[in-house]
């Protein structure tokens, strides 16, 4: 039985760049195929199991609480495409979803009110992921598409977590799985005529770099290459406009994009036509509409428009005259637009919240949809048809479960189609949410969102346990959203809070720019400022607060641990990016070159190297610092943040004297952790049990 924390051997390894030498004695843990490394990881898992064994009853309680609140046999709101209603459903006891469809009548656009657990008349099961996952420890469904003529299905599978998917095809009229099987794919979808598959493949760095055309019934070695992107900084993706007129091929880095069109009224193998030539630092996306009989392209871009503007150009001459449709407005970050036959939707962010508007083609006026809660998330989704009488919307908040609305485009009535059921008597009126503001060291006001259960009093009445979450990278926003698992915290009196730190996108593009590259430290100091604000406001105390972040948010956790170790009782770091400099220095690692636009290029720039070294969690662990309890969660097959980063970090923390540092590594999983809903609930119960124990909450 393991009684002491595993201590890895120190082995000489010197990393030298820009005249700087860094001794990295745990770099040997990178050898994933080494039996010694696997044995060490298994010893870490055994140690974690032993140290958390006393939490087993609490873990089971939390798992049962999550499970008891979920309607296990349930189904989604059907979405109409062509002559079919498509929906997904789950069954009690099954880990994965089942994708289905049922025939629609010609003029009926009101989704059928299907009852969970009851047989659906005329149901056709398209794909049962439980069958697909049978015999595998891990399963991930990638692409899922039905041909336009509704006769064929394609889907892709990953059984290891490495995000390289294999495409399969089924004839829906016979149920026969065709011989067409395509490995090593990113995304995949049918050609409009249903005779072929368009798919991307990945290079050795896990970068989608090539678009291919596969004709059904032919060998994959005869597939036609339609487009290749040689620049290692750029990803490639493709899709077909909702109008079904154009194939759009897009390439992009974190800061630059370029798009091409193939007119599907001609040959799909025709030379793609450039929309706008790539211009370093300019991002754009396009959609197609027919306005007054003319083919137009809408282009959402940030050229001389920090928070983006929307313009319209002739599809026949996209580099010609631009007509401004929605002018750039500082502080209103335009996020996206979707063109339909008679109108378009626009999504944007203002004052830290998502907004949805309807764009009138004739007047360019935007009609903003109104929602009542002070904090919420709203967006457009599930609208495959070019012309329909309803617009499908998604909505949620910290206290409102996931909700599906259909907006009646004639009456503007918002029709409730479904709200995520929460069993056990959940009443949103028993909970509340609010936003507070911290002040960063440079005077910037940083928003904090909070949710709590009213019966325990208001935040600040007396110090309470707080679970503070943060991310702060890639312009990714942590928007208000409901969580069933979170109720187990709130019902025990914990306040859940989100620090909307710079590097995210909550407050616009400038908010992102102020938290990346040589401004990255703002992300970390903002989080510390949020924690300090909650303490100073009497919401909590340092020994009653646990911080959490994952992936790039795990980098935030590692940096915060070094900056303010005594400000937290515990830190939960999921798939944490805690050895960023080592990773970003190695262009052979998956995704590294692409990441240079986010973090800088320390390989060729000494200033970036020095700056990253100044905040890298692994390299700045402080000997003798009063580190809190730390739990690092990782996965052996993660290709985005390699397991070796937390493995090395944990060793360095113990070496520095941190007394309670644990690592749990899933041996068959990827960046998103384990697969299957019950497995995911158990994993979250494991994390929450550790969190509650750290906070002293039973």
Distance CA 484, CA 326 (A): 38
Centroid of chain to Cα 323: 33
Residue pair 109/388 in contact by the 8 Å Cβ criterion: yes
Q: Which of 406, 479, 579, 638 is catalytic?
A: 638
- Residue 301 bridge partners (DSSP): 284, 309
Which residue out of 143, 551, 574, 675 is catalytically annotated?
Answer: 551
| Token reading at 632 | 């690092």
Residue 83: closest CA among 108, 58, 68, 103: 103
The CA angle 438-442-447, to the nearest 5 degrees, is 25
How far out from the chain centre does Cα 561 lie?
A: 24
Determine contact, residues 346/357, Cβ cutoff 8 Å: yes
What is the token pair recorded at 54?
Answer: 């006393």
d(CA 61, CA 428): 23
Report the SS3 class of residue 468: strand
Q: Active-site residue 635, yes or no?
A: no
DSSP designation for 243: T
Alpha carbon distances (Å) from 638 to 235, 548, 584? 19, 19, 16
Q: What angle do CA 614, 620, 626 make, to 5 degrees?
A: 135
Contact at 8 Å (CB) between 600 and 544? no
Measured distance CA(500)–CA(486) in Å, rounded: 18
Q: Has 263 been annotated as catalytic?
A: no
Contacts for 373 with CB less than 8 Å, ≥ 6 apart: 397, 399, 400, 433
Rounded distance, CA 651 to CA 312, Å? 55
Q: How far apart are CA 649 and CA 27, in angstroms?
A: 10
Contact 619, 657 (CB under 8 A): no
Beta-sheet strands, E only, within 364-421: 366-368, 377-380, 390-396, 403-408, 414-419
| Catalytic status, residue 586 | no
Query: Following DSSP, what letter does each residue of 74-114 receive, concatenated?
Result: EEPPPEEETTEEEEEEE-TT-SS-EEEEEE--TT--SPP-P
In terms of Cβ atoms closer than 10 Å to its own Cβ (0-12, 13-18, 19+), residue 327 is exposed
Phi–psi pair at 443, nearest 5 degrees:
90, -5
* Cα 93 to Cα 130, 468, 485, 677, distances in angstroms: 10, 33, 18, 10
Q: Helix crossing, 521-536 with 552-563: angle to 10°? A: 60
C-beta separation of 515 from 504 below 8 A: yes
β-pairing, 366-368 with 273-274? unpaired
Beta bridge partners of 212: 199, 225
Q: How far apart are CA 552 and CA 650, in angstroms?
A: 17
Name the token pair of 540. Answer: 């909590």
Q: Are 420 and 432 in contact (CB under 8 A)?
A: no
Cα separation, 677 vs 683, whole angstroms: 10
CA-based max dimension of the chain: 76
Residue 505 tokens, joined = 């996108």
The crossing angle, in degrees rounded to 10, of helices 606-615 and 521-536 is 30
Catalytic residue chosen out of the listed positions 140, 567, 671, 675 = 671
The catalytic residue positions are 551, 638, 671
């Amino acid at each position: 039985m393991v009684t002491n924390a595993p201590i890895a051997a120190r082995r000489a390894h010197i990393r030298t760049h820009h005249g700087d030498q860094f001794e990295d004695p745990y770099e040997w843990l990178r050898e994933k195929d080494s039996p010694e490394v696997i044995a060490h990881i298994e010893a870490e898992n055994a140690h974690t199991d032993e140290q958390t064994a006393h939490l087993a009853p609490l873990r089971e309680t939390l798992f049962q609480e999550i499970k008891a609140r979920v309607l296990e046999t349930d189904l989604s709101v059907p979405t109409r495409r062509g002559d079919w209603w498509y929906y997904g459903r789950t069954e009690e006891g099954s880990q994965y979803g089942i994708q289905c469809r049922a025939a629609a009548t010609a003029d009926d656009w009101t989704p059928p009110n299907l009852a969970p657990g009851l047989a659906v008349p005329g149901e056709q099961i398209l794909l049962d992921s439980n069958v697909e996952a049978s015999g595998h420890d891990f399963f991930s469904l990638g692409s899922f598409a039905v041909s336009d003529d509704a006769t064929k299905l394609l889907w892709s599978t990953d059984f290891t977590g490495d995000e390289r998917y294999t495409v399969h095809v089924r004839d829906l009229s016979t149920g026969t799985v065709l011989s067409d099987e395509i490995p090593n794919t990113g995304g995949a979808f049918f050609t409009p005529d249903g005779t072929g598959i368009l798919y991307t493949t990945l290079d050795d760095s896990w970068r989608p770099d090539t678009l291919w055309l596969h004709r059904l019934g032919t060998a994959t070695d005869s597939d036609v290459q339609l487009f290749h992107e040689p620049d290692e900084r750029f990803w490639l993706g493709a899709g077909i406009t909702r109008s079904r007129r154009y194939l759009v091929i897009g390439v992009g880095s974190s800061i630059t994009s370029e798009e091409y069109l193939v007119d599907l009224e001609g040959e799909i193998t025709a030379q793609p036509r450039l929309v706008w030539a790539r211009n370093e630092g300019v991002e754009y996306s396009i959609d197609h509409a027919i306005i007054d009989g003319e083919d137009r392209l809408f282009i959402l871009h940030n050229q001389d428009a920090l928070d983006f503007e929307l313009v319209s150009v002739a599809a026949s001459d996209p580099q010609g005259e631009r007509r401004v449709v929605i002018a750039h407005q500082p502080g209103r970050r335009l996020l996206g637009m979707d063109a339909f036959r008679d109108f378009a939707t626009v999504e944007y962010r203002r004052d830290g919240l998502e907004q949805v508007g309807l764009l009138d083609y004739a007047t360019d006026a935007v009609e903003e949809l109104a929602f009542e809660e002070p904090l919420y998330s709203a967006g457009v989704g599930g609208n495959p048809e070019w012309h329909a009488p309803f617009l499908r919307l998604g909505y949620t908040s910290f206290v409102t479960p996931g909700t599906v609305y259909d907006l009646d485009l004639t009456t503007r009535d918002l029709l409730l189609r479904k709200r995520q059921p929460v069993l056990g008597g959940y009443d949103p009126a028993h909970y509340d949410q609010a936003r507070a503001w911290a002040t960063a060291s440079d005077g910037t006001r940083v928003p904090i969102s909070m949710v709590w259960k009213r019966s325990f009093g208001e935040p600040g009445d007396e110090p309470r346990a707080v679970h503070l979450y943060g991310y702060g990278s890639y312009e990714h926003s942590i928007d208000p959203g409901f969580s069933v698992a979170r109720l187990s915290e709130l019902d025990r009196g914990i306040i859940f809070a989100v620090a909307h730190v710079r590097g995210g996108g909550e407050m616009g593009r400038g908010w992102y720019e102020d938290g990346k590259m040589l401004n990255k430290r703002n992300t970390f100091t903002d989080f510390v400022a949020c924690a300090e604000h909650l303490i100073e406001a009497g919401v909590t105390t340092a020994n009653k607060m646990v911080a959490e972040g994952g992936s790039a948010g795990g980098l935030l956790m590692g940096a915060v641990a070094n900056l303010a170790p005594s400000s937290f009782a515990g830190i939960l770091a999921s798939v944490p990016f805690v050895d960023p400099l080592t990773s970003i220095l190695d262009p052979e690692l998956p995704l590294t070159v692409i990441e240079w636009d986010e973090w800088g290029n320390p390989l060729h720039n000494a200033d970036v190297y020095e700056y990253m070294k100044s905040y890298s969690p692994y390299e700045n662990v402080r000997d003798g610092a009063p580190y809190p309890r730390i739990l690092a969660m990782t996965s052996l097959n993660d290709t985005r943040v390699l397991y070796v980063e937390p493995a090395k970090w944990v060793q360095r923390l113990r070496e520095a004297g941190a007394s309670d540092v644990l690592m749990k590594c899933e041996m068959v999983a990827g960046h998103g952790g384990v697969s299957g809903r019950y497995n995911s609930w158990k994993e979250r119960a494991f994390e929450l049990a550790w969190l509650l124990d750290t906070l002293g909450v039973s």
